Amino acid sequence: MKPDIVLLVITVLVALTFDFLNGFHDAANSIATVVSTRVLSPKLAVVWAAFFNFVAAFVFGTAVAKTIGSGMIRIEVVTQYVVIAGLLGAIVWDLLTWWWGLPTSSSHALMGGMAGAAIMRAGTFDVIISAGWYKTLIFIVVAPIMGLILGFVFMTAVFWILQNKPPRRIDAWFRKLQLLSAAAYSLGHGGNDAQKTMGIVASALFSANLISAAELKSTWGHYHWPIILAAHTAIALGTYFGGWRIVHTMGSRITKLKPVGGFCAETAGAITLFATAKAGIPVSTTHTITGAIVGVGATHRLSAVRWGIATRIVWAWIFTIPAAAFVSGVAFVVIRLIHPGA
């Protein structure tokens, strides 16, 4: 096998490993509320979430993948080594925050990782496509606020509409409805997050001259469905083997949830993810569901939200992109020491 093909295989495998870890790290986003409300057992919840992560392959397009693959970094500086270093930066940050139990964004870790490696290779910030970053950076703030507002509005509406209904009956209704909201959120999770790995894999194929610049920005030629199915399979498997440390943080440490609250939070998050996926905006599923959970908790009273935990999470969000960029930059320097032509 030719050395460039071996390098491509390694790059794609590292990308799919990141995708698996994305599902593993972000499994909590899909199942924390449905587990914490005891609507499903952890084992059934991960199967439910993983299934809809995969089904998303046939529901959403590839608009987010196009943004990640060719809209944020100038493609002429992207090599296999840049992709590998970028992925390593994202993977290291994901593993660290998983260990710390912090629900940070795998998506932003990936973007930071790719940017750090590309900047280190080019030696200049000019490789960054500003227009591609504006909407992403704006939605770091907008996505959780959308989730928060929608979660608050849905929860308030449910309180108002069902104020005269017996609590036991409401609980019974929403235990069933939460199955649908969990499925919808998992669909949005797969549709948004798997696409980010698709964009990276497509970039690797472009670097190996297997697809053209035009194909990179359009349908990826003959590799269209293999890229989509591989990415969704990897994220679904990652979700299946999910990260329980973060499930605990998301499901019980921010605020206590009942089935009605879980339904409202998941529905708010799903609507946000559906809209941004269609618009091609790579948002954080973690930020979105965290905002929705806070919005639901705030309908009871502001003290129902554990703001100390929420503040710690926000600080982790702020550091994600620069931290992943730093790690990937260091990784690229090491790679270049071994292979000066990188």
Q: What is the pLDDT of residues 158-186, one digit of tens each?
A: 989 988 888 888 888 888 898 898 899 88
Q: Quick check: 85 pLDDT over 90?
A: yes
102, 70 contact by CB (below 8 A): no
pLDDT for position 306:
59
* Beta-bridge partners for 128: 73
Q: Which residue has the tokens 């920005």?
A: 217
The chain-wide mean pLDDT, for the chain, equals 83
Amino acid at 300: H
- Which pLDDT score is estimated for 121? 94
* C-alpha closest to that of 107 among 186, 29, 195, 188: 195
pTM of the model: 0.78
Reading the block at residue 83, the tokens are 């992709």
Which pLDDT band, with edges at 50, 70 and 90, does 254 fall under?
very low
For residue 282, what pLDDT band results from cuts at 50, 70 and 90? confident
Helix (H) or strand (E) holding 251: none
Supply the pLDDT for residue 247: 56
Q: What pLDDT band is residue 313 in, cutting at 50, 70 and 90?
A: low
Q: Long-range contacts: 215-220, Cβ < 8 Å, 24+?
A: 216/69, 216/70, 216/75, 217/66, 217/69, 217/70, 220/62
